[in-house]
Amino acid sequence: MGDLVLVAVLLSAALGISLAVPSTLGRLLASVFGIVGLGILLSRLVPIGHWGFSTFFYLFSLVTLFAAVSTVSTRHPIYCAVWFGVVLLGTSGLLLLAGAQFLAVATLLIYAGAILVIFLFVLMLAQPEGGASYDRDVFRPVVVSLVGIVLAVLAAGTAISLLGTGDLLEWSAEVGDRSVGVLQHSHVFTIGQELYQKYLVALEVVAAILLVALVGAALIVGKAEGFVLGPRSGSTREQTEVPARNGVPQKELGEVTVGKA
Amino acid sequence: MNDVAILVHYLVVGALLVGIGCVGFIVRRNLILMFLSLEMILQGVALSLVAWGRLYNDFGGQIFVLFVIGVAAAEAAIALALVLVAFRDSRTLDVLFWTALREPGVPAPQVKSSAEGPAEPGPPKSAWPSLAVAGRKPQPRPEEEEFRPTI
């Protein structure tokens, strides 16, 4: 229990430093704290027997966690999106190791191939040239990273306490031979069967959700007449010129007042 | 025991991803980066679901993740449409522009004054590669003055 507190302190120090000090030195210091914290956390876990599985698991999870910390701490939003692509690569590898072959490829196709590309489109449309002031500061990095890592370590500690009890072992022992389960050859066939037999209603509902989202997004944005495509140069402090609508020039937007009630 | 150990490893990584995503959501000021952190939370949840499905040899874990990916795509579409509409009105992706929407009685968030300054200049325009103008302007043809075929 005490070493989980130490793990929480070290990992939140790592995350807080990487958020507060985004330079290379801060990233290096945060990596040191992070590796020590993760090492102590690892010592609480029962090692996986298979050396190949554990090598690739630690490799993928280290890449994922480093890329996740870099995603939330980088000061340029396009680089954050690229780091999130690396997170997706790591997650896809972890899913492949767990036997979810279809999901690994689906993550790369849908998440990295469609959702991330949408993010990059909107970022390039709306991001000002040069660094924006609102990208260069963060809200209370140390306190928030302490809270977030305490949340994560509480969840992880609950998972670790599962190792102590025997319930999980005896429930999972009823499953039988797991090698002919999710880690099998006719993987997509079995997923298709389950999806269309057991989960048919949920599948149709998700299809309806996607249709509604498509129509809703088009309705929300509406006509494109108010848009001036392309990034604006300069910071938000400049008076921006609102394009004239219907030939009548609109009055300019006021300055952003920040920090005042 | 090995399968339980693998499960706990996956749960720990999933929990850390969720934690880092939550931190990123609260800490960043850019609307799109806030949403990117939400997607990272969903990735952590996906890892945990697949690990539990692997323990019990049940495909329901993976199918749940398929639905999570589908709903995340729908959510991304709507959220980015809202961000675009917000950008159209405010010309900025700063979430502090919308502090007027906060709950009554909550003080406005304070920002370090050092952060409000001129933006870093982008790369000088001479650094961009320039292509030589190629081709020639088409000469107008007299027969096209009466009837121009559509392209």
What ipTM score was computed for the predicted complex, to two decimals? 0.81
Residue B20, amino acid: I
Calculate the alpha carbon distances from A4 to A45, A52, A103 in Å.
12, 27, 32
From the number of C-beta atoms within 10 Å of its C-beta (0-12, 13-18, 19+), residue A97 rates as: buried
Partner-chain contact A156 B12, CB within 8 Å: yes
Contact at CB, A259 and B2, closer than 8 angstroms: no
Instruction: Annotate A152-176 with b (16+ C-beta within 10 A) or e (fewer).
Output: bbebbbebbeebeeeebeeebeeee
pLDDT at A209: 97
Mean pLDDT of B68-94: 91
Answer yes or no: do A206 and B67 touch at CB < 8 A.
yes
Whole-number pLDDT of residue A52: 87
What gap in Å lies between CA A19 and CA A134, rounded to an integer? 14
What pLDDT, on the 0 to 100 scale, is given for residue B63? Answer: 95
Task: State the pLDDT at residue A226.
Answer: 57
Cα distance between residue A232 and residue A127, in whole Å = 7
Instruction: Give B146 to chain A, closest Cα distance, Å.
Output: 33
CA of B74 vs chain A CAs: smallest distance (Å): 5
Q: Which residues of A touch B87 (CB under 8 A)?
A: 125-126
- Residue A168 near residue B143, CB atoms below 8 Å: no
Count Cα atoms within 13 angstroms, Cβ side, for A201: 0
Closest CA of chain B from A25, distance in Å: 20
Average pLDDT of chain B to the nearest whole number: 85
CB contact under 8 A, B36 and A80: yes
Contact B29 A137 (CB under 8 A): yes
Distance from CA of A152 to the nearest CA of B (A): 5
Q: Distance from CA of residue A117 to its chain's centroid?
A: 15
Give the per-residue pLDDT at B138: 80
Q: Which of A148, A143, A109, A37 is nearest to B41 (CA)?
A: A148
Cα separations in angstroms, B34 against A146, B15, B20, B93: 18, 18, 12, 11
Residue scoring higher pLDDT (B34 or A181): B34
CB-nearest partner of A221 from B8, B63, B81: B81
The number of C-alpha atoms within 13 Å of A78 and in the hemisphere containing its C-beta is 12
B118 contacts A237? CB cut-off 8 A? yes
B59 → closest Cβ in A50, A125, A190: A190
The chain B residue lying nearest A196, using CA atoms, is B63
Specify the range with the lowest mean pLDDT, choosing from A28-37, A68-77, B23-32, B103-112.
B103-112
Model confidence, pTM: 0.80
Smallest Cα distance from A156 to chain B, Å: 5
Q: Residue A215, Cα to own-chain centre: how many angstroms?
A: 26
**Where does chain B have alpha helices with state H?**
2-27, 31-55, 60-90
Nearest residue in chain B measured CA to CA from A229: B88
What is residue A44's predicted lDDT score, i.e. its pLDDT? 85
Segment-wise mean pLDDT, segments of 10 residues, chain A, 261 residues: 89 92 89 93 85 92 96 91 96 93 94 93 80 81 93 91 71 59 73 92 96 95 64 45 48 41 38
Measure CB to CB from residue B78 to each of A163, A175, A216 and give the nearest one: A216
CA distance B118 to B21: 29
- The answer to whether A220 contacts B82, with C-beta atoms less than 8 Å apart, is yes
- Number of Cα atoms under 13 Å in the Cβ half of residue A210: 13
B114 versus A115: the higher-pLDDT residue is: A115
Rounded Cα distance, A134 and A203, in Å: 40
Instruction: Name beta bridge partners: A248.
Output: A245
